[in-house]
Amino acid sequence: MMDNLLSKKELLKLTGISYGQLYRWKREKLIPEEWFEKKSSFTGQETYFPKDKIFKRIEIIQKLKDTHSLEELAHFLSPELTDRLFQFEDIKKIIELNDCVLEMFAAGRGKQTFTYVDVVFMYAVSILKSEAHISEKVLSEIIKSICSYSEMIKGTNYYLKVIKLEIVSNTAYMEKAYTMVYQTQAQLFLDPHFKELRTFYLDELSNELKLKYDRGIF
């Protein structure tokens, strides 16, 4: 676990950046606060960073900081932390997003602009649609559920769990879907009536998108 963590002291030494630069980039949301992990060490409290992520991020910042404003870089590198909005037409170009899902999200939102977190949710739901057999009705319920809280989520360090409830009686069959978003990797125990459809880690999906589209949309 400690192999992919780098201490702040080592980071400053290896990259040659100053305290001022590191904290300014944190302030400007170029480096997510979550990457600053405080752990107890021999000398007291030390801050550690995810090694691969932080090196790559600092490399990009140093390369682009003379040609872009810090605000532009934040929109590009951490769109999940800013209130950058994406247009419907631009989002359509992302092939990972199912058109039907995109339409339903637009309808559920009531507008044609989306935050980055919305895009990641749409990716998750698109994956769910292609992998599981869900009816249109259940799909729209899932999307409506996500739309109710997605604006409050400012980051991708969350898990999205989609669960299904099936009620079978002599006279009727009812199928409903629910979603929940939570932060830690806690193990959730569900009532046996619920069946887990899928759990997504938004950060993983976000990184896939960023990797693929880093020169384009993001």
Which residues contribute to the site for other proteins (CB under 8 A)? Answer: 9, 12, 18-20, 23-24, 26-27, 43-45
**Residue 12: partners with Cβ closer than 8 Å, 6 or more residues away:** 18, 19, 22
168, β-bridge pairs? 173
Comparing CA positions, the residue from 124, 119, 98, 151 lying closest to residue 218 is: 119
Contact of 4 with 53, CB cutoff 8 Å? no
Least Å distance, CB 72 to other proteins, is 17
> For residues 33 and 196, which CB has a smaller minimum distance to other proteins in the complex?
33
Place of tokens 């938004």: 202
> For residues 69 and 135, which CB has a smaller minimum distance to other proteins in the complex?
69
> For residues 9 and 56, which CB has a smaller minimum distance to other proteins in the complex?
9
Comparing CA positions, the residue from 178, 157, 158, 174 lying closest to residue 166 is: 174
CA dihedral 111, 117, 123, 127 (to 10 degrees): -120
> For residues 38 and 63, which CB has a smaller minimum distance to other proteins in the complex?
38
Least Å distance, CB 176 to other proteins, is 36
Q: What angle do CA 9, 16, 157 make, to 5 degrees?
A: 60
> For residues 9 and 193, which CB has a smaller minimum distance to other proteins in the complex?
9
Least Å distance, CB 150 to other proteins, is 19
Least Å distance, CB 13 to other proteins, is 8
Gap between the Cα atoms of 197 and 217, Å rounded: 30
Least Å distance, CB 41 to other proteins, is 12
